[in-house]
Amino acid sequence: MRFRVGSVPYLNAAPLTRWLEREAGARYAEVIYAPPSELARLLKHAALDVALVSSVEHFRRPETRFVEGLAIASRREVLSVRLFCKRPVSEVRSVALDTSSLTSAALTRILLERAYGVQPNYLAAVPDLKAMLRLADAALLIGDLGMTAHHEEATVILDLGLAWYEWTGLPFVWAMWLMNPDAPAAQLTELLHTSYQWGKAHLELIIDMEAARTGIPRALCRRYLREVMVYEIDASFQQGLERFRAEYHQSLGAEALPRG
What tens digit of pLDDT does each residue of 169-182 get? 999 999 999 998 88
What pLDDT does 58 receive?
A: 86
CA 158, CA 173: separation in Å to the nearest integer? 18
CA 237, CA 145: separation in Å to the nearest integer? 25
The set of residues, in sequence order, having a beta carbon less than 8 Å from that of 113 and lying 6+ positions away, is 119, 251
Predicted model pTM: 0.91
pLDDT beneath 50: ranges in the chain:
254, 256-260
What pLDDT does 160 receive?
A: 98
Query: For the chain, give me the number of helices (H) and strands (E)?
Result: 12, 12
CA 141, CA 137: separation in Å to the nearest integer? 14
What pLDDT does 180 receive?
A: 85
What pLDDT does 218 receive?
A: 97
Cβ-contact 193, 70 below 8 angstroms: yes
Question: In this structure, is the dihedral angle defined by the CA atoms of residues 44, 47, 48 and 49, taken in order, positive or negative?
Answer: positive
CA 169, CA 66: separation in Å to the nearest integer? 24
- For residue 255, which of 143, 131, 132, 113 has the smallest C-alpha distance? 113
In Å, what is the CA distance from 12 to each residue of 60, 114, 146, 223? 23, 28, 12, 11
Residue-range domains of the chain with CATH: 3-75+171-256 (3.40.190.10), 84-168 (3.40.190.10)
